[in-house]
Amino acid sequence: MKLLAAVTLWLLALGLAGYALTSAPIEGIIATLRHLTPAQLIALTALNAAIVCLFALRWWLLLRQAGHRLPFFAAVRYRLTAFGVSYFTPGPQFGGEPVQVLAVTQRHGVPPAAALSALSLDKVLELLANFTFLALGALLIAGRMSLSPRLVIGALLLAALPWGYLLGLYLGARPLSALSAHAPRGIARLTAVIQQSETEIARFCRRQPLALSGLMLLSALVWVALVGEYALMLRFLGAPLSGRQVLTFMVAARLAFLTPLPGGLGALEAGQVLAAEMLGLNSALGLSVGLLIRARDIAFGLLGLLGGGALLGTSNSSPHDV
């Protein structure tokens, strides 16, 4: 069954990639990409590196808030390694989180429960921002285009999940702890870590609402930077678009990364082509955007994996190495 599922996923990815590649003439793609200058590529790379640092900053602040100090650029390195693992793993952009937990526990002496609670809250805040963006983006786009009501409702429900989880924790609920209580006895140690980490997350939400609000503002800042990067990329490709048009491209990209395909392979490229066609733009622009994003993410993903290889190949540092 696993082999059949893997083959099906790869066939789907190849089919979507084939659709995207045949939707635009190669001459149009080359002409669009030729708008980019070396200076513009450097600017986009620098901006994306800054965004990676912003993602790591939220997790790093959560660890510091819990009393565990580690070098900021070590956190950036671990976050980039986790991205590399997640990017090349089938599924909706998850899979690298154990690397982050392992890195801070083994190299910096962070207790497993504290490492898991910091990372879990970081992921909840990330999902909260991502799904809220999708919901708002879907609502804005629906005002101009005939989107399926089911898509809009689905986006709103996705946005409600992380908000509901945080609200539940604030009110005293422990959903993950309740579920883990029914887990097999053979994983009792893992169950205890999950329950302890959720207790720490709930304590943080209830006792430090201002810090939580600050982290939410940081998540919003990340999305402002992401929208700015996307708009700048489109402008560099010769297509200065309105905010609503930029959001259309971005919503298509985020939906692609929610598919079970590694790195949204095929779905990203096809989604960008469809977004361009929905807006009445040249499909070559959509595919060019998709290829540029693909090249960027592969480069950062490989950089993260290389860093992870070096990380696993070195001995543990002192827990007090800050």
pLDDT for residue 321 is more than 50: no
Please tell me the distance from the alpha carbon of residue 226 to that of residue 297, in angstroms, as a whole number.
14
Other Cβ atoms closer than 10 A to 287 = 26
Domain assignments of the chain as residue spans, ordered by start: 40-312
Asked if 104 and 78 touch (Cβ cutoff 8 Å), the reply is yes
What end-to-end distance do the CA atoms of the chain give, in Å? 47
Written as one string, the DSSP assignment of 187-236 is GHHHHHHHHHHHHHHHHHHHH-HHHHHHHHHHHHHHHHHHHHHHHHHHHH
Q: What is the DSSP letter of 185?
A: G
Structure-token pair, residue 90: 């089938």
Return the pLDDT at 188.
Answer: 60
Return the pLDDT at 7.
Answer: 74
Q: Which of 14-18, 34-38, 111-115 has the lowest mean pLDDT?
A: 14-18
Q: 86 or 191: whose pLDDT is higher?
A: 86
Mean pLDDT of 20-25: 80
Q: Which of 217-221, 240-244, 297-301 has the lowest mean pLDDT?
A: 240-244
Return the pLDDT at 198.
Answer: 80
pLDDT for residue 39 is more than 80: yes
